[in-house]
Every structure is written in C-alpha cells, then in structure tokens.
C-alpha cells in the first residue's frame, strides 16, 4: 500500500514551489511525471528541473503517457472515460515500483482549482491516503502580474471555462469573469465592445506574455499572439480576466 501526495507547483516557475511542497518532493519515494507528446516535452522538463532544484538525492521518477481524450460521445462522458484511462496509467506506473510507499505528482497550478488530479486519484485501487499541498494558481499569478485585484468592491466574480462562455454567454450577476481552459479564444463570442480584458500566457515564467485593454481592441492581438506563442513553444497555458464595462 502507498500514500499519494499531490503537490501544487504553480505555473512552471520553480520559485512558485512552497517550502511544504519542496519538503514533500524530498520525502517521496516515487514521483510520477506525465508525457503529452514530443511537442510538450519541456512540461516534463520543468518538473524535472523543480525536482533537481529542491533535492540533492532525487527520488525515483516514473513517466507515463497521457491518453487521448475522446470527443465523439459528449464532453462529460469523454472526460469521465479519460480520467479512467489516466488512473490506469498511474496504477501501472506505481505497480512497476512496488517498494515505493510515498508516491507524488507535481500538479500544474493547484490540485484543488480546475484540476482533475483528485478525481483521478479517487479511481485508484486500493484507495491510497491522499494529501494535497496547495500551489499558486494561474489566477493568482495573472492578477499579480497585472497588479490588479480579482474582485470589485461588494461584487461577485466567476471562475469558468471557455466552453461555458461560448455556450452560455456572460454569467449573470458577475462583475468579473476569470476564464480558464480556453483553447479557442472564447471571448470572441461576446459583444466585445462591452468588456475589458487582462490576458496572460506562461504567467510567472520567463516566457510570460501579458496583454491588457479594451476587449474589442485587444482581441485580434491576443488571437495572433497566442497562435504564434503556441507554434514557437509547442504548447501554451494561458488565462484571462474579463470585466464588464459600466454603461
């Protein structure tokens, strides 16, 4: 039997790792690292860099390939089956190291905010005791990089996905909306003249890109910049905050 620790590592900057997270890396017997294809090899490399920085005697590392997600049978069912498949990859990687009693994964951002690691961990058999070490979220990194607060006084904000913005539009009663997991620049589905945007990619890393201004003016620049950055690096992680303009 093994224990599982999910360690939030922020947005890829090794400085985002907490002392608690560094201690958990040193204590681990085995760390699982996902591979998502050749174009995203540096995502594994960033995890390796973090491990090397905090540990003089790095733990064992087991790599596993992320399966492709089906999109032909509905979004929620596709994600559910995908999580089953990832859990199986975890199970196989851990079983190959039977002496490992303390297993860890380094989770981009925070394991508790728009991440499915806890849902995947719940599928493991036998069920391990799971510990979560929080990390800096992409939303924290974005608002810090732009030096803005997430909230307006006395007003709610919403954290959602690009898919829901496209399907449902602006959430009711929200002053600001933070949008994650958006590969299609879904802000283009809004009436852009009514909003401001704070966008960031690779936030907190040396490759950081920030754009801010009226959405109608900034949208073409963001779309172009995002496409170029993805082509240059082979991957992109971005997030943005929208604010409705007061008429």
Architecture of domain 3-136: 3-Layer(aba) Sandwich (3.40)
Domain with CATH 3.40.1010.10 in the chain: 3-136
Q: Which of 96, 100, 106, 83 is nearest to 32 (CA)?
A: 106
- One digit per residue, the tens of pLDDT, for the chain of length 247 reads 899 999 999 887 888 899 999 999 999 999 999 987 554 556 788 899 999 999 988 899 999 998 888 777 677 888 899 999 999 999 999 999 999 999 999 999 999 888 999 999 999 999 999 999 999 999 999 999 999 999 888 888 999 999 999 999 999 989 999 999 899 999 999 999 999 999 999 999 989 999 999 999 999 999 999 999 999 988 899 999 999 986 5
Give ranges for CATH 3.30.950.10 in the chain.
139-244
Contact 237, 202 (CB under 8 A): yes
Biggest distance spanned by C-alpha atoms of the chain: 63
Choose among 224, 229, 195: nearest CA to 209. 229
Fold of 139-244: 3.30.950
**Whole-prediction pTM value?**
0.88
Nearest to 102 by CA among 153, 175, 30, 50: 30
């Amino acid at each position: 039997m093994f224990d599982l620790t999910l360690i939030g590592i922020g947005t890829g900057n090794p400085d985002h790792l907490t002392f608690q997270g560094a201690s958990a890396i040193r204590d681990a017997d085995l760390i699982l690292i996902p591979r998502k294809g050749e174009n995203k090899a540096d995502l594994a490399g960033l995890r390796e860099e973090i491990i090397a920085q905090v540990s003089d005697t790095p733990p064992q590392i087991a790599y596993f390939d992320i399966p492709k997600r089906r999109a032909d049978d509905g979004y929620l069912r596709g994600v559910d089956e995908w999580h089953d498949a990832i859990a199986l990859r975890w199970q196989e990687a851990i079983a190959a190291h039977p002496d490992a009693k303390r297993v860890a994964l380094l989770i981009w951002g925070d394991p508790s905010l728009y991440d499915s690691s806890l849902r995947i961990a719940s599928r493991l058999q036998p069920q391990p005791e799971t510990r979560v070490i929080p990390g800096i979220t992409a939303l924290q990194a974005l608002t810090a990089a732009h030096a803005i607060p997430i909230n307006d006084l006395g007003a709610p904000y919403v954290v959602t996905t690009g898919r829901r913005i496209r399907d449902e539009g602006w959430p009711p009663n929200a002053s600001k909306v933070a949008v994650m997991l958006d590969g299609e620049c879904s802000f283009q589905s809004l009436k852009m003249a009514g909003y401001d945007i704070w966008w960031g990619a690779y936030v907190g890393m040396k490759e950081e890109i920030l754009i801010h201004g009226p959405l109608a003016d900034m949208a073409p620049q963001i779309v172009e910049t995002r496409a170029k950055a993805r082509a240059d690096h082979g991957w992109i992680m971005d997030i943005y905050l929208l604010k409705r303009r007061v008429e």
